[in-house]
Copies of this chain bind each other. A is one copy, B any other.
Amino acid sequence: MKNWEKNVRLVTPYTPGEQPKKRDIIKLNTNENPYSPAPGVQKVLKEFETDRLRLYPDPASSELVDAIASEYGVRSSQVFAGVGSDDVLAMAFMTFFNSKKPILFPDITYSFYDVWAEVFRIPYETVPLDEDFQICTKDYQRENGGVIFPNPNAPTGVLMPLEQVEEIIQANQDVVVIVDEAYIDFGGVSALPLIEKYENLLVVQTFSKSRSMAGMRIGYAFGSEKLIAYLNDVKYSFNSYTMDQLTLAMGKASVEDREYFKQTTDKIIRTREWTKEELKKLGFLFEDSKSNFVFVTHPKVSAKQLFENLKKENVYVRYFAKPERISNYLRITIGTDEEMQKLISLLKKYC
């Protein structure tokens, strides 16, 4: 190792799901939406005046922030926007988790949390889910440097009722609590109204799942004005202009189309329920999912084997070899009806 390498921040990065470049596949591995973005998004794209791109975007992302605030009935000063919810969460870890006490999050959860903790050198402890993959609120009632959990949880898809979410927040008013709601729009109840009651609560959402815009990188968060101001200070200390002009305009168009949003999320929920029935018939076991994916195991066929068989047929699902506890599970994104029919017919062959 050379001398200059001694001061390098060494990390083990997060491994995102595979993004195969071939086109003719059924892609159920990264929880993308099978439907196109709202029609208004395309309109922005077609009508955008390219010459404007020589100018910097608005560093405050006001166009998008105002549209989100208006749609969700909060003030713009209660909204933060970033380059996908990963960017929002990274900024939040950096801004709020600076205690010497460990932050807490579930043992089975979004596998980026420990990566952020490590890159920012934040001490952390994981809290085991119970046998049915449920978060036990009591486990979060002890000293800590902050709390974060997804609701619904990933990759389990399990939704915690709002009362339990509030129980955790209530017990943790001396630290920042982050509720990561990437999958909330598929049947969950958001903690958003609680930001009026708890100044230390940050609720994070994304355009990548329910708004079909994973390719554009838009995440956002709701919180008290104070919390959002702190977050913006760190953001402005990192990169003044995180969101490009097109993203801001397209994001605005998406959030303004409430009808299309409802139609497509409802459709995914219906397809999910159908998929669950079919999987049950095939002997799969799973907790109830309120997200745009299901997390399933089969008592007789190994998940790894299924994953590989499906891949051979150009159907991509997500298999996590680790941790041990979920090494026999598959996470399957809900696609179109046709895609799920194809999946089920293949699974019939294997099970």
Contact = CB atoms under 8 A, between A and B. Distances in A.
B50 A41 contact: yes
Interface stretch (A54-62, A73-81, A125-133, A185-193): A54-62
A217 B244 contact: yes
B8 A58 contact: no
Interface residues of A, number: 89
A263 interface: no
How many monomers of this protein are in the complex?
2
B4 A176 contact: yes
Interface string A26-55: 010010111111000110011010111111
A217 B241 contact: yes
Nearest to A213: B53
A109 interface: no
A285 interface: no
Nearest to A145: B7
A250 to B, nearest CB: 8
Given A11-B233, A11-B234, A217-B244, A32 B4 contact: no
Main secondary structure of the interface of A (DSSP, over half): loop
A117 to B, nearest CB: 10
Contact of A217 (B213, B242, B250): B242
B213 A87 contact: no
A16 to B, nearest CB: 4
Given A54-B212, A215-B244, A217-B244, 11 more contacts: A2-B199, A7-B96, A7-B97, A13-B235, A32-B54, A37-B50, A53-B213, A115-B237, A116-B237, A119-B234, A215-B245
21 contacts: A3-B175, A4-B173, A8-B176, A13-B237, A14-B236, A16-B240, A16-B241, A17-B56, A36-B54, A37-B54, A46-B46, A53-B215, A56-B214, A83-B83, A83-B239, A84-B241, A87-B242, A116-B238, A216-B246, A217-B244, A244-B244
Interface of A: 2-14, 16-17, 19, 21, 27, 30, 32-37, 41-42, 45-46, 48, 50-59, 83-84, 86-87, 90, 94-99, 115-116, 118-119, 145-146, 173-176, 199-200, 208, 212-217, 226, 230, 232-247, 250
